[in-house]
Amino acid sequence: MAFGVLFNFASNTNVTLITPASTMVTQQWFIDAVLYSQPIDLFVLTGHNVPRGSASSATLRLVYQAIRKLRPDVPIQVFGGHSHIRDFVVYDKMATGIEAGRYCETAAWLAVSGINTSAGAWNPSKPLGLSHPTQPAVVVTANSSATVSNSSNGLTYFRRYLDWNRRTFEYHTNISHPTSFGSAFPYDQPKGVAVTKEIYTQRQALNLTAPYGCARQSWCVSCAPFMSSSNIFSLLSTALSSVIVNPDRANNSRIIYLNTGNVRFDLSQGPFTYDDAFIVSPFLNTFQYIPNVPYDMAVVSHLQARIEKASLILQQAALPLLNTGSVYKKRDLSTPDFSFSSTLTADMDACVDPSITSDLSTGRSYSSSRIVRRQSTLTSGYHTTDDFGSDGDDAPHTTIPFYSQPHYFSANASFPANGSAPKTVDLICLNYFAAALVADLVSLGGNYTKNDVKDYLPISFTTQDYLPAYVKTASDWRDLANCAVSVS
């Protein structure tokens, strides 16, 4: 019996109807389904949802609890995804949940043995050529491997997180570089080759590989302190200050707010292409503004010095309120997320990213009774710690430095030349969170409504456009003839 359950989402369009999970589990159809008269071997819960129930938007645990209350002896398996992490959670001795990762970078493998079938139609015997799972659904020490033991209820588990790349799949299928299409399950199938060629053709037709300039260094989202020289938000703040300007209001002091989740990936040293603009910021958010907002209401004094530490002090100002208030609520996880921080917020899915942690992975192998973990040359990547310990990653990785980032960052321009603060500013933000910004200004005593929000730039200019616009005009991005590519 399977249920697909959305996370606690309330920002849907008015042409859709969402039934909250808390309501769903009380409805008669759900109760009748759980108490279905025919035997049920396994309940499966899946959906765009966080398996670990401590996230404020998570609803899978609530549904699990409702099922378990009515059916205490039937296994429950959860497959989730929303918080962009690798994670495995134990609910009880017959219920676990797994989350694969973010942006198709992980294939999660889960094996469960010992499920009793209702009519003998399916016999979950030992899989051919594979070791039987041996770990019961018991939380183990965070930095240890899952222990081998017998499960009192007969259910045993095994989980593994595979890096999503060709080398991983070649390793696990024992198929490497086939010489002909006659090989068993080769990776270079004719249709696949044709798709690759078509993608290449379209990339050329769309000029995705056309260079706009040369990135003289690499900038990362979270491997460097917020607003440091290697942190991408320092670059983007410079770009925003340079190109987000309405010619009719160019002389007005302005502050520009973006949410950090609008930025999806690092920018590597080397030629900056049209494609890189989408890699960094794939969204089509537009720029709106509220004119002539009192400066003291828009931003605290010495804000940049504070946010460089990525630890904003809550004061009566718009940016700290955005970072701590009306849009996002911090997630509290009792165990570390694989390689993302435990302060993940998943309430607004469109533009929120968790961050990469700095745990160090070490290689490990098991006895012949366990599935063997691959050993390889260490590369930078994820290190997962979940309810089964720290042995879930298929390939060991070295550490990725992590520095937490706030939910929002800012840029300013046309401030007084003498260094003084302006009396008022044009407060610019994305259409994505303009309503939340209005609410925060009202909470600070401002007399604002949604009618005060106007388009600052034409709606054809979006967050996909400001970085390319900056690169095209910045003098230190011009040297394409001597453009070194990062090898890290």
Alpha-carbon distance values, 279 to 7, 266, 316 (Å): 26, 8, 35
At residue 447, the 3 state secondary structure works out as coil
DSSP code per residue over 160-221: EEEE-SHHHHHHHHT--S-SSTTSSS-S--HHHHHHHHHHHHHHHHTTTT-EEEEESS-BBS
**In one letter, which amino acid is 418?**
N
Distance CA 301, CA 7 (A): 38
φ, ψ for residue 429, nearest 5 deg? -150, 180
Torsion, CA 121, CA 126, CA 130, CA 136, rounded to 10: 110
- What is the spatial distance between Cα 457 and Cα 228, in angstroms, rounded to a whole number? 29
- DSSP-assigned letter for residue 231: B
- Residue 179, classified by CB atoms within 10 Å of its CB into exposed (0-12), middle (13-18) or buried (19+), is exposed
Residue 61: HSE in the Cβ half-sphere, 13 Å Cα cutoff = 14
Identify the pLDDT of residue 347: 34
Q: Between 3.90.780.10, 3.40.50.800, 1.10.3210.10, 3.40.50.970, what CATH number should domain 211-327+407-477 receive?
A: 3.90.780.10
Residues of the chain with CATH 3.60.21.10: 2-162
- pLDDT one-digit tens code per residue, 280-325: 999 999 999 999 999 888 763 233 333 333 333 323 355 555 655 5
Which H or E element spans position 320? helix 318-324
Query: Can you give the pLDDT at residue 172?
Result: 85
> 395, 97 in Cβ contact below 8 A?
no
Residues in the chain where the model's pLDDT stays below 70: 118-130, 141-152, 176-186, 299-377, 487-488
Give me the residue label for tokens 């198709």. Answer: 104
User: How far apart are alpha carbons 28 and 99 in whole angstroms?
Assistant: 29
Output the pLDDT for position 444: 84
- The count of other CB atoms within 10 Å of the CB of residue 3 is 20
Residue 246's nearest CA partner among 85, 66, 455 is 455
Nearest-angstrom CA–CA distance, 384 and 356: 11
Per-state percent for the chain, helix, strand, coil, to nearest 5: 25, 20, 55
Polymer length of the chain: 488
Q: What CA–CA distance (Å, rounded) separates 17 from 70?
A: 27
pLDDT, position 179: 52
SS3 254: strand
Residue among 70, 5, 76, 90 at smallest CA distance from 43: 76
pLDDT for the residue numbered 33: 98
| pLDDT of amino acid 381 | 80
Q: Return the pLDDT at 334.
A: 28
Nearest CA-CA partner of 131 in 167, 170, 157? 157
Q: How far, in Å, CA of 38 to CA of 124, rounded?
A: 20
CATH 3.90.780.10-classified regions of the chain: 211-327+407-477
For residue 49, list its beta bridge partners: 81
Four-way CATH pick for 2-162: 3.60.21.10, 3.40.50.20, 3.30.565.60, 1.10.286.10: 3.60.21.10
Assess contact for 392 and 371: CB atoms under 8 A: no
